[in-house]
Amino acid sequence: MRSTRRGLLFAAGAAGAAGATAAAGLAAAPAANAADAPAAPPVDWISVKAHGAKGDAATDDWQAITDAVAACPPGGVVYFPTGQYVVTRTLSVPAHVTLAGTTGSRWFGYLPKNAQGNPVPPVFIKPLWGHFTGSALIELTGHGARLRDLVLASGRATDTAGGNVDGLVARGSVKAVRLQNVGVFNFQGYGVRTDSAAGGFPGGWEVSHLSLEANKLGGWRAENTGGAPFSFADSVFDSCEAGANGGDGWSFDGIGATGFVGVRATWNDGNGFHLTGKCGTVGFTECQTDRNRRNGWLVESAQNDPARSPAPHVLTLTGCQASRDGRNDNAVPGGYAGFRITAPEGTAALPVALTGCATHVSGDDVPGGLLAPDYGVHAERALRVLLTGCVLVGTVASVRDDAGAVVDTGTTMHNRTTKDGVSYDVPSPAVTPVGNAPQPADSGYGTWSFDPAVASDLNTRLTPGNVYLVRVETHQPVTVSAVSVLLAGAGAGFTAGNLAGVYDRTGRLLARTADQSAAWAGTANRLCRMPLTGPVTLGPGFHWVALLANAATPPSFARGSTFPDPGAFLNAGLTPATYRVAHLDGSATALPDSFAPAQNRNTTVQMFWVGLG
């Protein structure tokens, strides 16, 4: 990270990696005593000092804190007076017990300073350097557990075997947790890590004013190793920040019914927000990212159970801003975006709606640094990405749409920023018209190359032995069992090798038809439906339909472009591996099992109408 205002701020959270330095700095904090506890009924408030905790940054307070927790009734509070509490084992917080201190923190650098000028939290819990056994500082083991006004600080301590230590963990069905005004700083593992189990997953949490800073593996990580419906669900996050973490700021492997309000992700070495797994109803409102190494938002989620719920959940982002993401260590542009939407190949993608969202291009806080992001929005394998009232900018383009999924309602401003200046109101590079245009499904097709209403018959006969490729798009998985063409002119004198086939974007043959000599010699001006050898499911993205004819008089098919050399403009700006129309080199009598898309040719091509259904 460059030496910047934010860099210096977050770097304070990483101080104390050396055990001796950390211990010395912590020991210099003000002394604490049991009288610091607030006036409250003793049966409800259990002071750890009353059970022998020292809070001197040197004595192992694990047993004293554990005894205080055991003495706390459901609904009670285990209170930490001002002090620095170090422990050698994981602290467990059971159901309906609150751990409470006096002061949390948002930014480590603004905590009180000791004589050496190092930040020292007035009250915190920390693994004892060189003596800690366990994989987490605190584990929540029951419903209704709470933490408030506390700092968990580590100094990147490991366990005695050198393993990672997380700040706070919860596993399985741990519900109704509340985290309020808690700082989790500089852990060797994750700041917070949750996981599912066979019995369920964490959910129903309220998380407010949580700060996750300078944790090596990432800020918040919700895993789903238990194979539950979600990793995390039914929760609310507000006014939180994950900054300068070594991985993603916020990462969820399957999240349902959760809202984020005013949550930030800044200067993380991964993505700001990262969603994978199946996703339910999730919304982000007034959330921000800034200068993350990769994307601001990376959504790689599939629909949640599309078989039972044909109308998919929608991910909404309202008033969210992604600034300067994709810094990529100030090296070379990495193709990152403020908002990147995709899904695992072959899965049903999640619809995403962006309303009033914005991206911002810039470098570091101090002059210099890589201008980023490359794209405001990047839709890769997406179902629909709806843009309403957004202001999008990238160094390459405001929008990159690899799947034809972006729908712009016409109220979004598209800008482009380079080192030479800003270009405002650039026409959207990817806009799917909003209206009543016929779609393939209206005619019973899974996809087609274009609306057949605009097809022409120019009596352009196929060149014998030439494998023609026509690209088709799919925005969600579709299963097809036949290729259709409009036979404009019948052929004659057929020899071996008259076929159609379907290839994926890597050039692998998925299915082919039987020989079509008889069909292509029949009556002209008719729809010719050619069954494939078997049904094939096409995932989101693009595929190629291949057509091959060998005859003295080859057939002609309806085509779209009337220009003699349509590849000159249909493939403009595309690489051979992504051409809309192409042909394979050589003279073929059969469709190959595979081909190299990078070797696609741009001559002897035609935009034939093809339909898959």
**pLDDT band (50, 70, 90) for residue 294:** very high
Question: What value does the mean pLDDT take over residues 438-461?
Answer: 85
pLDDT number for residue 17: 36
Max mean pLDDT among 118-127, 206-215, 371-380 falls in: 206-215
Residue 12, pLDDT score: 46
Q: Which amino acid is at 93?
A: V
In a shared domain, residues 464 and 554 = yes
The confidence score (pLDDT) of residue 58 equals 96
Distance (Å, whole) CA 120 – CA 52 = 22
**What sign for the dihedral angle of Cα 22, 134, 197, 271?**
positive
The pLDDT, as a whole number, for residue 20 is 34
**Residue 263 is assigned to a structural domain of this protein:** no
CA distance from start to end of the chain: 52
Position 256 in a domain: no
The band of 291, judged by pLDDT with boundaries at 50, 70 and 90, is: very high
Range of the domain at 8: 1-245
Given a cut of 90, is residue 401 above it in pLDDT? no
- Report how many domains make up the chain: 3
Note whether 78 and 98 are within 8 A (CB).
yes
pLDDT at 552 over 90: yes
Q: Are residues 459 and 419 in the same domain?
A: no
Identify the band that residue 21 occupies on the pLDDT scale cut at 50, 70 and 90.
very low
Please report the pLDDT score of residue 1 as a whole number. 40
E-only strand ranges, 190-290: 190-195, 206-213, 218-223, 232-233, 236-238, 241-243, 250-256, 258-261, 264-266, 273-279, 282-285, 288-290
- The CA distance from 284 to 275, in Å, is 12
106, with CB counted inside 10 A (0-12, 13-18, 19+), is: middle
Residue 541 has pLDDT above 50, yes or no: yes
pLDDT of residue 424: 62
CATH code: domain of residue 47: 2.160.20
Question: Which string of DSSP letters, residue by residue, matches 443-492?
Answer: GT-SEESS-GGG-B----BPPTT--EEEEEEESS-EEEEEEEEEEEE--E
The residue whose two tokens read 């002209």 is 524
pLDDT at 540: 63
Q: Is residue 264 part of a domain?
A: no
pLDDT in tens, 317-364: 999 999 999 999 888 899 999 999 998 887 767 899 999 999 999 999
Residue 28, pLDDT above cutoff 60: no
Is 257 within the bounds of a domain? no
* CATH number of the domain bearing residue 447: 2.60.120
Cβ 261 vs Cβ 237: under 8 Å: yes
Mean pLDDT of 269-290: 96
The mean predicted confidence, pLDDT, of the chain is 88
Provide mean pLDDT across the span 198-226: 97
pLDDT at 23 (0 to 100): 36
Give the range among 222-231, 395-404, 427-436, 506-515 with minimum mean pLDDT.
427-436
Q: Which residue has the higher pLDDT, 244 or 460?
A: 244
Residue 161 lies inside a defined structural domain of this protein: yes
Whether 417 and 492 share a structural domain = no
Q: Which residue carries 């004013």 as its tokens?
A: 209
Compute how many other C-beta atoms are within 10 angstroms of the C-beta atom of residue 332: 8
Run of H or E residues at 570: helix 567-570
Q: Per-residue pLDDT tens for 88-133?
A: 999 999 999 999 999 887 788 888 888 888 888 889 999 999 999 9
Q: How confident is the model at residue 307 (pLDDT cuts 50, 70, 90)?
A: low
Q: Tens digits of per-residue pLDDT, 408-417?
A: 877 888 887 7
Q: Do 234 and 98 belong together in one domain?
A: yes
Cβ neighbours for 139, distance < 8 A, ≥ 6 positions apart:
90, 91, 92, 93, 168, 169, 170, 171
- Together in a domain, 204 and 340: no
Q: Please give the C-alpha separations between residue 141 and each of 47, 90, 176, 178, 308, in angstroms, as whole numbers.
A: 21, 12, 12, 13, 33
163 and 309 belong to one structural domain:
no
Q: Do 83 and 61 fall within a single domain?
A: yes
Same domain, 323 and 449: no
Q: Of the segments 18-27, 44-53, 435-444, which one has the largest average pLDDT value? A: 44-53
Residue-level pLDDT at 261: 99
pLDDT-derived band at 461 (thresholds 50, 70, 90) equals: confident
Q: Which residue has the tokens 């919860």?
A: 170
The tokens 């899965």 sit on which residue? Answer: 347
pLDDT digits (tens, 9 = 90+) for 594-605: 999 999 998 888
Q: Does 258 fall in a domain? A: no
140 or 460: which leads in pLDDT: 140
Residue 591 belongs to a domain:
yes
DSSP for 333-389?
----EEEEE---TTSPBPPEEEES-EEE-B--SSS-S--B-SEEEEESS-S-EEEES
Choice between 310 and 539, residue whose per-residue pLDDT is larger: 539
Q: Looking at the structure, do residues 102 and 188 belong to the same domain, yes or no?
A: yes
Specify whether 385 is located in the same domain as 462: no
The yes-or-no verdict on residue 428 having pLDDT over 70 is: no
Question: For position 426, what pLDDT does the model report?
Answer: 55
In terms of domains, do 351 and 472 share one? no
Query: Mind listing the pLDDT tens digit for each residue in 513-532?
Result: 999 999 999 888 889 999 99
- pLDDT bin (cut points 50, 70, 90) of residue 217 is very high
**What does the pLDDT look like over 562-585, one tens digit per residue?**
777 787 788 888 889 989 999 998
Least confident of 139-148, 152-161, 252-261: 152-161
Which of 380, 414, 435 terminates a domain? The answer is 435
Q: What is the pLDDT confidence band of residue 306, given thresholds at 50, 70 and 90? A: low
Asked if residues 246 and 219 have their Cβ atoms less than 8 Å apart, the reply is no
Q: Which residue has the higher pLDDT, 226 or 3?
A: 226
Q: Residues 574, 484: one domain?
A: yes
Residue 402: the pLDDT is 79
The DSSP secondary structure of 515-544, one letter per residue, reads --HHHHTS-SSEEEEEEEEEEEEE-SEEEE
Choose the final residue of a domain: 415, 435, 455: 435
Q: Which residues contact 364 (CB under 8 A, 6 or more apart)?
A: 2, 4, 291, 327, 330
364 or 201, which is more confident: 201
Q: Is residue 252 part of a domain?
A: no
